[in-house]
């Protein structure tokens, strides 16, 4: 049987992502994306899943441009999260 994300979960995830984006903190965006991906595990993804992918890409770009020194662990987290969209 196919499992779907509930509408309430989708709205909560979308709100969390919007708040993270509006904070302009790339790490908050990364956290919101990782949490949503964990909750989507084994379920049918929402039609607007690309919103999370674009937000992750934008957050990586912002993180990379704002730091003189890049944390290798954070790079690995970004790469792992982005890899889950493929």
* Position 1 in a domain: no
* Position 2 in a domain: no
Bridge partners (DSSP) of residue 78 are: none
Residues contacting 78, CB < 8 A, separation 6+: 30, 56, 59, 60, 63
Q: Is the pLDDT assigned to residue 1 strictly greater than 90? A: no
Total domains in the chain come to: 1
| Lowest mean pLDDT across 28-37, 52-61, 69-78 | 69-78
> Can you give the pTM of this predicted structure?
0.91
* Position 66 in a domain: yes
Domain span at residue 74? 7-83
| Lowest mean pLDDT across 5-14, 48-57, 58-67 | 58-67
* Position 17 in a domain: yes
Distance of alpha carbon 77 from alpha carbon 82, whole angstroms: 8
Q: Looking at residue 50, what is its pLDDT?
A: 96
* Position 36 in a domain: yes
């Amino acid at each position: 049987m196919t499992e779907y994300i509930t509408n309430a979960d989708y709205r909560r995830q979308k709100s969390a992502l919007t708040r993270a984006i509006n904070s302009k903190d790339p790490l908050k965006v990364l956290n919101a994306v990782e949490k949503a991906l964990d909750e989507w595990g084994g379920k049918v993804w929402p039609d607007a899943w690309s919103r999370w992918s674009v937000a992750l890409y934008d957050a990586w770009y912002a993180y990379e441009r704002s730091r003189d020194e890049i944390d290798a662990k954070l790079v690995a987290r970004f790469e792992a999260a982005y890899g889950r969209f493929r």
